[in-house]
Amino acid sequence: MSKVHNFSAGPCILPKEVLEEASQSVLNFNNLDLSILEISHRSKDIIDVVSEAESLVKELLNVPDGYKVVFLQGGASLGFLMTAYNYMKLDGEAAYINTGTWSTKAIEAARGFGEVKVIGSSEDRNFTYIPKGLGVPMSANYLHYTSNNTIFGTQFHKVPVVRCPLICDMSSDIFSREIDVHLYDLIYAGAQKNMGPAGSTVYIVKESGLGKTKRDIPVMLDLQTHIKNESMYNTPPVYSIYVSLLTMRWIKKQGGVAEMGRRNEAKAHLLYHEIDHNPLFYGTVEDLDRSSMNATFKLHDESLSEEFNKMCADARIDGIKGHRSVGGYRASMYNALPIESVQALVDVMKEFAAKKG
């Protein structure tokens, strides 16, 4: 049977060799004759998994001294709360950039902690661009933004310049390109796009930025709690961390984050070139703000969608239906998606245009 080309927006496609090793470890982990799902998280074998995962995050992203890496639960949605608890001061204020569904939710979560100033928003055009030329108030305790927007297909290609702590939700593009970690006080990212399966969230934390809010933080939402306990304050999501570790080993083996960036740019260029030159399709996002992770596009004539969908299904192309708030199509091109899958989609688009031209 031919391969399924998996363009799902998340959970993500994972490398075949990662899936094979992960599945074997469900049956017999580290030759213990025990499943990784059933051994103690306090055992040396699992402590080694978490420790290596934290170390690989630092290595792959060139995390400088003064930062800690922890793996927690709750996804980015819990990260919205943890950001406000750990960085917004009592009677303080924070600046946010609103570029879509997840940044909107982050803003809503922060409103219960102090004044939230939305310094830029693309909501006026259904989040089809990244706001530019923004001024961050000097009084802001931090600036928060979402680097890549899976639903609408936009992505920041420049880091906002700020004088306050910078915080970023990188759930859908971490490890997809090189980043300058030293520019941030906090980066957090759910695993389920480029790093592993759903269930764990990585936090990259500048230690000197913590402990300054003068507010009482619930122990489970205090980043210092989890740093002190090295991701082990409570039972961690062991399997998700383990598969993330295997994925990071794979990234390193492929040439690291720089190589992931090169491949992802090549995939994005291939697909966007077809979108721009195929008379039946058009992109939904401003050219300069297009995401290399999630390409969103539509048919000029939506009455043709059923026939195009069938051609995609026949070619075993899966997961390209657009989000309900946007419609059309969304092709998610995370690290493990090979360029051959993008070429398969492009070939169907070309064939469809020839058939209808």
Catalytic position from the list 68, 173, 185, 193: 193
Q: Which two tokens stand for residue 50?
A: 């978490």
- Measure the CA–CA gap between 354 and 269, rounded to whole angstroms: 21
| Bridge partners of residue 187, in order along the sequence | 168, 204
What is the enclosing helix (H) or strand (E) of 189? strand 186-190
Pairing of strands 186-190, 201-206: antiparallel
Q: Which two tokens stand for residue 155?
A: 């992505």
- Residue 193 known to be catalytic: yes
Q: Which is nearest to 247 in space by CA: 197, 199, 189, 195?
A: 195
- Measure the CA–CA gap between 241 and 301, rounded to whole angstroms: 44
Catalytic position from the list 68, 102, 206, 289: 102
**What DSSP string describes 16-30?**
HHHHHHHHHHHH-ST
Tell me the angle at which helices 75-87 and 101-110 cross, rounded to the nearest 10 degrees.
40
What is the DSSP secondary structure assignment for residue 218, as one 8-state letter? -
- Residue 102 known to be catalytic: yes
Per DSSP, helices labelled H in 88-198 are 101-110
Catalytic residue set: 102, 169, 193
